Chains A and B, each alone.
Chain A
Amino acid sequence: MNAQTNTKESTSVVLVGVGGQGILLASAIIAQAALTTGYDVKTYEVHGMAQRGGSVLAQVRYGEKVYSPLIPKHEASVLASLERTEALRYVDYLAPHGLAVVSDQVIVPVTVSSGAATYPEMDETALKTYFPRLVYVSAVERALELGNARAANVILLGALSTKLDNLADDAWQKAIQTCVKPKFVDLNLQAFYLGRELAKNA
């Protein structure tokens, strides 16, 4: 039994958003790509009550050996958010020099509509003060250009994949083919490479 495993060698990814946005598919694809590459993989996701419009979180860790499926604070290489300000709720997870990938989509919670809370003013410049390494994407708009708003999650996935250089292009392709229904594979591959392109330009 190797008790001296250095956990810093494992790669951690946090995905956040609002229930129903497709976080689970994105985390499943990362996990599958890591598994195909031969890594030990653990993931954790929220089920049940919190799914009903609540703030949701999915976590993926991979490496030679992974113990905790829950990512410790300040250890995520990437924090991806499908909603504009949700990333701020989980800023503590991001490691120094970590990459944040944020969709500009705003989902106004009922607490704001009812007047009990306010939605903070936030744009790319403001987000950059919290996330020095930021890829800010109009993911829903770009997904609609591809023909399906639901591909926004995979555009973000493409963007965040640029930070995960221990997973090869081939592994991502295979993972997308494994996790997505056959008729949506082409759409999702397009979305994935669009995301990669957007991150390069950022």
Chain B
Amino acid sequence: MEKKLLSGNEAIARGAYEANASVATGYPGTPSTEILENISKFYGDKIYCEWAPNEKVAFETAAGATTTGARAITTMKLVGLNVAADPLMTLAYTGVAGGFIAVVADDPGMNSSQNEQDTRLFAHFAKVPVLEPADSQEAKEFVKIGFEISEQFGTPVILRTTTTTSHSRSVVELGAPIELNRPHSFKKDPQRFVPIPAFARGMRVRLEERVEKLAKAASISSLNRIEWNTNGDKRVGIVTSGAAYQYVKEVFPEANILKLGWCYPFPDELFLEFADQVERVFVIEELEDFMERRFKELGVATVGKRLGNEKLVPKYGPLDVDVLRDVKRKLAENEATKAYFVAPNVTKSDAKLPEIPTLPNRPPVLCPGCPHRGFFYALSKFDVVVSGDIGCYTLGVAPPLNCMDTVLCMGGGFTVAHGMDCAKNDRPVVGIVGDSTFFHSGMTGLMDVVYNKGKSTLVVLDNRITAMTGHQENPGTGKTILGEETFAASVSEIAKAMGCKNVVEINPRYLDETTKALKTAIESDEPWLIVAKEPCPLAYRKKLEKNYRVNQEKCKKCGGCLKIGCPAIERAADKTVSVNESLCVDCGLCAQVCKFNALEEVDLAAAKGGLV
């Protein structure tokens, strides 16, 4: 079979195809987004795919599909599972008729996330199996095996990846899709599918029985294996899973390893079998001490997050080879463990390098031409508190715009603002969501504000796309994940239907109209919804005919144009300002803030002609 280099996410998409899944749903979220993108791109003619407005909807749709006997997969990032927690907790009770996998991508190190929750604990809470691939080949295989576990035991299954397993590429051997040929037919069975208390109590009992059976199955599953070392030395046994396994293999090549791909329901028998055969058990896992606690519950002494009174394996942040070398060094130096380990030897250069100069930070920034920039610049002139949520516009928190005061969760911009208003905050409050987060869960907040006679100024920064995760369609864009035309939901019409009387659409690229709308709304005693509507220039690229240049004769070097924080505007050491022509996309915001009309729009064809 063909071998390809695939990311973990691409491999999961391939796994869904090889496992003959019928339905795939999701909501974009780094590091999970590319799974559904790849399913739709390569297998969209065979697997029904959709971006749902949020993870709960995506989860429920997949859950519905699986009641017919079909195989369904849903994808989300770690915090997405919080949104989908309600259906998860009860789907564990009702169980599934077909195969069901929720892929949840964790983000140790918080590369693109607001928290670092460990989804394995969620699986434990919901009492459902959790599988953890360590590379792309496993990511693909675990989808296929996950469906089998799901169907054999009638349970939803969580496939947990991390940023490293989702975004690293490794070699994958492709397989042929299996044939299922099964009818998709819902069979009426209220005692199974309707958790009214009388039936749910029976489900509760069956759930506990299922967890016990799963634990036994996990103990003998091919997803879990012991790798004995070649020299027969049984003193050190390391328990690990997921990406951490790769680092353990590299740093502790001499160790015996219990490698978990299916760590919950806890395979107690396998845990004890391993512990019995080695002298000391070491647990090296990324994030929480999930498996280590279980070993302790089973009465096995372990070294993991702590070594005596000292911290050992970090409980937060990502692991890597360097982190584990530090761990090994500590183990080699500690009285209690030094007999077992030799400190790793790293070849560093002997040459003394001169001190490296302080490098300027390169935080992620709003792109040149981003419509959010104009809105935030206008907003920065008002004395208000700003509550936002998750999207590119969260970057409005950074200097020089300094516009975001609180962020809680997806869709939370409106409701947090409303709460401040309810508490009679001494300054006006502006609540912000994006187009995608409005449809995700922001719109219920708008309904709350109108219904309860709030007075907040609410803003939808509608750039016509789900931008931060890499430009996915959403219910407002008029296109499905497959690019088919569909109804484009209108934020303004939805707001009006909810009873919001004051709705205004503006283009945030124009400072005057943006400022005017904000002033009216902030001074009003009624709720206002401002829809700041302008497409993301990255998602909707247009051919550039003009861009801006600084007329050095007019420029007073006052630095006023730098206050919009545009990456295309650069200032030299002598304070001369210039526009980087390769970055400018002709949005014209700088020209609106320059008091000396020094920023001039130039016709590109003419400018080029002049040079020749």
Query: For window 342-367 of chain B, which residues contact chain A by CB distance below 8 Å?
Result: 346-351, 353-354, 356-367
Cα-based distance from A68 to B569 in the complex (angstroms): 40
Q: Which residue of chain B is the closest to A74 with respect to CB atoms?
A: B348
In whole angstroms, how far apart are the Cα atoms of A117 and B357 in the complex?
12
How far apart sit A116 and B366, CA to CA, in the bound complex (Å)? 17
Question: How far in angstroms is the closest Cβ of chain B from A150?
Answer: 10
Partner of B366 from the list A52, A73, A91, A129 (CB cut-off 8 Å) is A52
Indicate if A103 sits at the interface (CB-CB under 8 A): no
B111 touches A50 (CB 8 A): yes
Q: Flag if B359 contacts A89 (CB, 8 Å).
A: yes
Instruction: Considering the complex, give the chain B residue whose CB is closest to the CB of A66.
Output: B170
Q: Which residues of B contact A149 (CB under 8 A)?
A: 582
Complex interface: stretch among A41-49, A153-161, A165-173, A189-197: A41-49
B246 to A115, Cβ gap below 8 A?
A: no
Q: Which of A98-120 contact B (CB under 8 A)?
A: 108-120
Q: CB distance B364 to A52 under 8 Å?
A: yes
Which B residues touch A7, using CB under 8 A?
A: 250, 253
When chains A and B are docked, how far (Å) is the Cα of A109 from the Cα of B562? 12
B169 & A115 in contact (Cβ 8 Å cutoff): no
- Give the complex CA separation of A40 and B250 in angstroms: 15
CB-CB < 8 A to A44: which residues of B?
Answer: 164, 167-169
Contact B111 A74 (CB under 8 A): no
Interface centre among B247, B354, B357, B580 (most CB of A within 10 A): B357
Using known A-B contacts A50-B112, A67-B246, A129-B354, determine if residue A42 contacts B170 with beta carbons closer than 8 Å: yes
CB distance from B289 to the nearest CB of A (A): 22
Which of B112, B168, B229, B325 lies in contact with A3, CB distance below 8 A? B229
Partner of B365, one of A1, A52, A85: A52
Find out whether the CB atom of B353 lies under 8 angstroms from the CB atom of A110. no
Whether A40 and B171, one on each chain, are in contact in the complex, defined by CB atoms closer than 8 angstroms, is yes
Residues in A with CB closer than 8 Å to B562 are: 113-115
Q: In the complex, A89 Cα to B359 Cα: how many Å? A: 7
A53 touches B253 (CB 8 A): no
CB B282 to nearest CB in A, in angstroms, measures 15
Interface of B is mostly: loop
**B253 A47 Cβ-Cβ under 8 A:** no
Chain B hits for A95, CB < 8 A: 347, 349
Q: Which of B462-480 contact A (CB under 8 A)?
A: 468-470
Q: Judging by beta carbons under 8 Å apart, are A96 and B349 in contact? A: yes
- Are B362 and A114 in contact, with the CB atoms below 8 A? no
Min distance, Cβ B324 to any Cβ of chain A, angstroms: 9
Asked whether any CB of chain A lies closer than 8 Å to the CB of B320, the reply is yes
Proximity bits, B481-522, A CB within 8 Å = 1, else 0: 000000000000000000000000000000000000000000
- With a cutoff of 8 Å between Cβ atoms, the chain B residues found around residue A113 in the complex are 562, 567, 569-571
Please indicate the chain A residues that have their CB under 8 angstroms from the CB of B582 in the complex: 149
| Residues of B within 8 A of A (CB-CB), count | 69
User: Closest residue to A83 on the B side, CB-wise?
Assistant: B362
- Closest residue of B by beta carbon distance from A53: B365
Q: Is B315 interfacial (CB-CB < 8 Å)? A: no
Is A22 in the interface zone, CB < 8 Å from B?
no
Contact among A3, A35, A54 for B362, CB-based, below 8 A: A54
Bound Cα distance from A5 to B361, whole angstroms: 38
A4 touches B567 (CB 8 A): no
Taking residues whose C-beta sits less than 8 angstroms from the other chain, chain A's interface range is 35 or more
CB distance from A181 to the nearest CB of B (A): 16
Interchain nearest-CB distance for B373 vs A (Å): 11
Determine the chain B residues whose CB is within 8 A of the CB of A45 once the complex forms: 167
B364/A51 in contact, CB under 8 A: yes
Question: Which residues of B are found within 8 Å of A116, using beta-carbon distances?
Answer: 399
Q: Is A199 in the interface zone, CB < 8 Å from B?
A: no
Bitwise, A1-16 to B at CB < 8 A (1) or not (0) is: 1111101000000000
Does chain A have a CB within 8 A of B31? yes
Give the shortest distance, in Å, between A194 (CB) and chain B (any CB).
Answer: 21
- Determine whether the beta carbon of A48 is less than 8 Å from that of B111: yes
For the complex, give the distance between the alpha carbons of A67 and B169 in Å: 12
Q: Is B177 an interface residue (CB 8 A)?
A: no
A4-37 contacts to B (CB < 8 Å): 4-5, 7, 18-19, 31-32, 35
Is there contact, CB below 8 Å, between A54 and B360?
A: no
B393-416 at interface with A (beta carbon < 8 Å): 395, 399-400
B109 to chain A, nearest CB (A): 11
Chain B contacts for A4, CB-based, 8 A: 229-230, 253-254
Q: Given the complex of chains A and B, what is the CA–CA distance between A67 and B353 in angstroms? A: 30
Q: Does B30 contact A (CB under 8 A)?
A: yes
In the complex, how many angstroms separate the beta carbon of B10 from the nearest chain A beta carbon?
Answer: 12
* Minimum CB–CB distance for B602 against chain A, Å: 19
Report whether A129 and B353 are in contact in the complex, using a CB–CB cutoff of 8 Å.
yes
- Taking a contact as CB atoms under 8 Å apart, the answer to whether B168 and A115 are in contact is no
- Please give, as numbers and ranges, the residues of chain A lying within 8 Å of B469 by CB-CB distance: 48
Cβ–Cβ contact A85 & B567, under 8 A: no
C-alpha spacing A114/B400, complex, angstroms: 7
Of all chain B residues, which has the CB nearest A89? B359
Q: B392: which A residues are within 8 A, CB to CB?
A: 52
B362 touching A55 by the CB < 8 A rule?
Answer: yes
Complexed CA–CA distance, A52 and B354 (Å): 31
A-B contact pairs, 20 of them (CB 8 A): A3-B257, A35-B5, A40-B170, A43-B168, A45-B167, A47-B167, A54-B365, A68-B247, A68-B321, A69-B169, A70-B168, A70-B247, A108-B580, A109-B365, A110-B566, A111-B360, A115-B562, A120-B358, A120-B360, A130-B356
Beyond A3-B249, A67-B246, 12 extra complex contacts between A and B, CB < 8 Å:
A1-B228, A3-B230, A47-B470, A48-B30, A53-B362, A67-B247, A72-B346, A88-B359, A91-B356, A96-B349, A108-B580, A130-B356
* A-to-B contact residues, CB < 8 Å: 1-5, 7, 18-19, 31-32, 35, 40-55, 66-70, 72-74, 85-86, 88-89, 91, 95-97, 108-120, 122, 129-130, 132, 149
